[in-house]
Every structure is written in structure tokens, then in C-alpha cells.
Chains A and B, each alone.
Chain A
């Protein structure tokens, strides 16, 4: 299943947040959205997943989601969004409880995603007992449990320290290599973008417009930490973003 954004634009009251965004999200690829803060990345992601309706344009789903897919468009949030009163297992079960399936089938899915995210030992822990990195892995496990056609990730690693971020990026690359998934990955961190993105979409400051789409051909597994070629790509992206970021930073916020 592919996604197509058709001339998306959006306003909040007087504020124009997004202007004329057209984009293809091909199946099996990770598309990174980068842009200065406040440029409308999170808004765009909410529009893509149907949590909000675009003011103009439309989000199209091309083809059907795979048969076994329980929740085609699935989010991973920056703040993890775990229920603090449920254990790791309970949080994953939450996503499955509204689907008709036997208890055994549900337990199988949970065991499988816990193993894939290396959380099997922590199934009965409460979120308050987990570190930030572990919490995000629970959120990733929960997303995997519903076998999404497209994962919508809003700065999933931004709340984590840089070491944990590296580890989780490796985990994501590992997950993708074993079973390629489609994702829209919002970040303001260019290192994450060049590490995980097949396609990097650079947005301008508000109103967010597409400035450039950079395609990276190096396979994900070959992109190591501190790679010189990646470094160069990152420099290039930073060149594109620098002025926008500075201008966005200097803007007055009208709330």
C-alpha cells in the first residue's frame, strides 16, 4: 500500500501551517520529514494518519492494506504515549483488544513483538520502571503488533539521550532489514534522517512547503555511525535548512 499526498494545505485560524504539499510515500521505504521546529511536521503527520482533516487537498491510499493488517496507519509518538497503569504486556494488548481474535492468537502476537524488540523479560514491568529507550521500544512493539501498512513516527527518538538514540536507530535498521516496513519519519535531527531515510523531504519554515526531496541510495545496513558519505549528506541538508531554521527561530510566536 502506497500513500499519496495531493496538494495538502492547512490553516489553524489565521495561521497558515502547510502549503501545497504533494508527496509519494512508496511501500517499503522510510520517508523522513525534516524542517525547522514549528514548520508543521507534526501537523502533516496527523493529517496523513487521519487524526485531523486537511484544510485543502487530500491524502490518498493507493491499493489495499495487506490482509492481516489490523491498523493500517499506526503512530509512534515522541512522548511514547504508554498507559502508565498498564504493564508492558497490557500496553501492547490495548492495541489488540478491540480486534476479534482468540486469547491464544493475541498472546502469540504479543510474545512475537516483545521478542522482536528484545523486551520479553520486561513483559510485566510498569512504564514507570522503564528507561526512556525501553518505553519507546514498548511503543514500537505496540505499533508492530497491529501489523501496520505505514508507520507514522513523530520524532520518536527526540526525547532520548544520544547514546540511547544510536542504539534505537540500530534497532530500527535491524527491524527494517528483517522485514521492510513503510514509514513516515518526522525528525529535526539530520543525523537520524540520513541514517534511516530512503527519501528525505526538506520542509521550509512556516508555512511548510517542500523545499527539496533528497534520495539516498545507500542501503540502510551500510550506513554506519560516523560514515563520511553520510556526514556529507548531512552537511548538504544543513545547508538547505540553516537559513530557514534561523529565520524560524527569530519569528515571533503568535499564540
Chain B
């Protein structure tokens, strides 16, 4: 007794913090604003020379002109059309092929090496080929974007199907469910989380390829606008275009996040 009374009482230190992702609103915006303010301050004070980086306020002004002249939508609408058509073709075909690979051993044996062979090809390098195949018009642009979206989607989709809990499939079989019921009610919903996170990546790649697709024979389009500004070293316009692309990326990302919250409400 007396011995324990003499011992010093020390609080057990807390060491279980961290390693948890929490939703913090607004922090992303703060990072953007800080960086922009820094650039603005740097270019105004001369720390950053005007040749290195355009002044954010000038970029904003260019953007304003673009909007006022009505050119913004003239560029944006064809780009969005290309993006939507190309990316949806790529995503739909990619998900279908990925699910087939996930379900059938024969498809897996035949197509996985092919996908692995296609994946590392920079799709931009194939642009001339697409022009020969599909012409200089819209079709070749759709094809390039679709092709670029296709490969990452396939890989994500079949990995997602592989990750579906086999015990659920067994359960379906044990209740005598038909093949189509098992696929549509167990495999596809179970693969949905993986497919959606794959789409996040492949739709971003689609935006990158949009610019590449507009390198050839596009009069209007964000990509065409950026490339033209780039060849003239018109940094303000270049950045105005880049900002549009970034906004597009953020929009796609938050659209998918919203979709995930809706479709994957069942997730723990």
C-alpha cells in the first residue's frame, strides 16, 4: 500500500490520433486562393517576372473578355460535346468489356494481354492514324477521346468485378438465382464502387486527350484556343484556357463524388 502511494501518478499519453480521413470543407478553396494571391503579389512586386508567369488579374481580365465577346461558349460547347460523346463511348465500351473480362475466363485470357499492350501507348501518338481512319472531322476526335478513356476503364471494371465478394455470388447460386440475376443484382452493384473510382481517373484522362484531339483541324474548342495561345506565347490566354480545363476537371470530380454519395449510400 504505502509503496504504491509513493509512486508518482502520470497520465497515460494519447497516441491514437491521425490516420482518419475527415471531410473538411473549404480547405481546397483556401489553397487555391492562397496560391493565386501569392502569384498576384509576386508578379506585381516583380519577384516573379512577367515572362515567367502571367499576372492572375490579367488572366481574369482575358477571361472576362472571352466571356464578353461570346467566344467562351463558341469554344466551350464544341469541346464539351467532344468530351461527352467521346468519354461516354469509351466508358460504356470500357465498362462492358471490363465486366466481360471479369465474368468469363475466355474473355480474360484473350483480352487482358491486349489491354496491357494498348494501355502504355500514348494515345496522342496515334492521332495521325485516327485522322486517316476517321477523317479530320469530329469522328477522329471522338475516337481518340474514347480510346483513351477505354483502357483505364476496362482495367478498373474488371478489377472491380474481381473484387466482388465471392460469398455473395455463392449465396445467389445457393438460392437458385439465374445467371442474369446474379450478374445484374449481385456482380454489377458490387462492382460499382470500383467502377466509379475508375471513372474518376479515366474521365480526367479524357480531358487531357481533349486538348490533344483539338490539335488537328479544330477551329473552335478549348484545346484549340490553348494551342493557338501557346504558339503565340500569349501567356494570359494560355492560362485562361488552362483555368477552364482545371474547372472542368473539378466539375467532373465533384459530379462523380455526388454520384458516389447517391449510388453508394449503402457503403459503411
State the A residues within 8 Å of B (CB).
49, 51, 70-71, 73-75, 77, 79, 81, 83-86, 94-95, 97-98, 126-128, 142, 146
Contact = CB atoms under 8 A, between A and B. Distances in A.
Interface stretch (B51-59, B62-70, B129-137, B174-182): B174-182
B171 interface: yes
A74 B175 contact: yes
Contact of A128 (B172, B174, B177, B268): B268
Contacts of B185: 83, 94, 97
Contact of A94 (B175, B265, B268): B175
Contacts of A75: 171, 174
A126 B174 contact: no
Given A79-B167, A126-B266, A98 B181 contact: yes
Given A94-B175, A146-B175, A85 B266 contact: yes
Given A77-B171, A83-B186, A94-B177, 4 more contacts: A49-B174, A81-B171, A84-B267, A98-B178
Contacts of B181: 97-98
B174 to A, nearest CB: 4
Interface residues of B, number: 19
Contact of B176 (A71, A79, A84): A71
A98 B177 contact: yes
A73 B173 CA distance: 11
15 contacts: A70-B176, A77-B170, A77-B171, A83-B168, A84-B266, A84-B267, A84-B268, A86-B266, A94-B177, A97-B177, A97-B185, A98-B176, A128-B267, A128-B268, A146-B175
Contacts of A83: 168, 185-186, 189
Contact of B170 (A81, A127, A142): A81
